[in-house]
Amino acid sequence: MFDSGRESATIKVNNRMDMKYFFCMMIIILLAACSDTEDVESQSVLMGLEVRDERIVDLVDRHVKPTIIAEGFVWSEGPLWLEDRDALIFADVPSNSIFEWRAGDSLRVYMKQSGYPVDDKRRKNSGSNGMVLDAGGKLILCQHGLRQVVRMTNSILDPSPIFETIADRYEGKRFNSPNDICIASDGTLFFTDPPYGLEDPTGPELLYSGVFMVTPEKEVTLLIDSLTKPNGIALSPDEDRLYIAVSDPEGAVYHAYDLDENFRITGHDLLFDATHLLDKGLKGLPDGLKVHSSGTIFATGPGGVLVFSPKGEWLGTIRTGDRASANLAFNTDESMLFITATDWLLKVPMKTNHE
């Protein structure tokens, strides 16, 4: 019996049927069944771990499959683990909201109007995006709608859309739409400023997509102005390298920049070029990235979450199915990896017995 999800057919043979025709029909049906089996098999491996280097299984079980723990969003982004709440928060950029997920699959709205002071359906990308916590446990957000980096004045235990502006301009010109952000141990911020959330009809004031640094004294410095679409950003554990993902389909790459003790760039390497993966039809572009305490880099990109050694060796990919992965975050002890992927929130258990 051949059942490929389409209406089944019964073949009857009588003495008048040409046997060649019968065998041709049987071959066609067999090929169709094989094709359907391959489709089913290909779907079954869409979510899981692709191992390219055995070092990846020191961190992720080779048989792991991401679990969908929440869904129904428009474009989920900017996940951040809050240890004090034992919860993950993440943005739904188009809905101008931040959601909170807790163990036990509890989901609630954490904050409305996270990126723009009113909800305006005409503004498709007005919400917040990347988020970090400062040393005092205050929430820092990249706001697409207001084109700035801000700090929430309330505690994370009592969220409210009341913000203090940290940076909104460089040399008197407004940012495009601060996208992703990371923070150094001394409170220095690094963020990317592509035009994705820019909806002002007057257009950008800055004629480039910059990578900026902001000191704790709110002094803004332009670090890089040569990248086409800078997006995800993260520091190495010892803070001497800055990693940046570029969401350009013509050059889907990840960069690594050497930093001195004052966070000035002293060198540059192309960490990995993922452009060729787009030719295979894999969904997603280089977007968010985080660095594991081991120095291993987890970066969303074509096919899911690509995993690299600090030298840029591709160790494997955590496949996220037919959803383009946007960003990711670890919980405090790195026992769980959370992934925002289009309308999904996913979790992936991690090994914690690494050296």
What order do you get walking across the sheet with 87-92 strand by strand?
76-82, 87-92, 97-102, 106-112
End-to-end CA distance of the chain: 52
Q: Are 298 and 289 in contact (CB under 8 A)?
A: yes
- Residue 198's pLDDT band, with cuts at 50, 70 and 90, is confident
Give the residue from 27, 37, 26 showing the smallest Cα distance to 3.
37
Higher pLDDT, 264 or 8: 264
Name residue 324's amino acid: A
Q: Kindly state the tokens that stand for 246.
A: 């570029």
Token match 């048989």: residue?
63
Which residues in 269-286 are b (16+ Cβ under 10 Å) and which e?
Answer: eebbebbebbeeebbbbb
**Band (147; pLDDT cuts 50, 70, 90):** very high
Alpha carbon distance 27, 216 (integer Å): 71
Res 8: pLDDT:
30
Q: Which fold has domain 51-349?
A: Neuraminidase (2.120.10)
Q: Max alpha carbon distance in the chain (Å)? A: 92
Domain parsing of the chain, residue ranges: 51-349
Mean pLDDT across the chain: 88
* Strand partners for 244: 233, 255
pLDDT tens across 282-322, in order? Answer: 999 999 999 999 999 999 999 999 999 999 999 999 999 99
* pLDDT greater than 70 at residue 22: no
The answer for residues whose C-beta is within 8 angstroms of residue 178's C-beta and 6 or more apart is 129, 130, 142, 143, 144, 147, 148, 149, 167, 191, 192, 193
Q: In what order do the strands lie in the sheet with 163-167?
A: 128-133, 139-143, 148-152, 163-167
Which is nearest to 196 in space by CA: 327, 68, 319, 302? 327
User: What pLDDT sits at residue 32?
Assistant: 41
Q: Is the per-residue pLDDT at 181 higher than 60?
A: yes
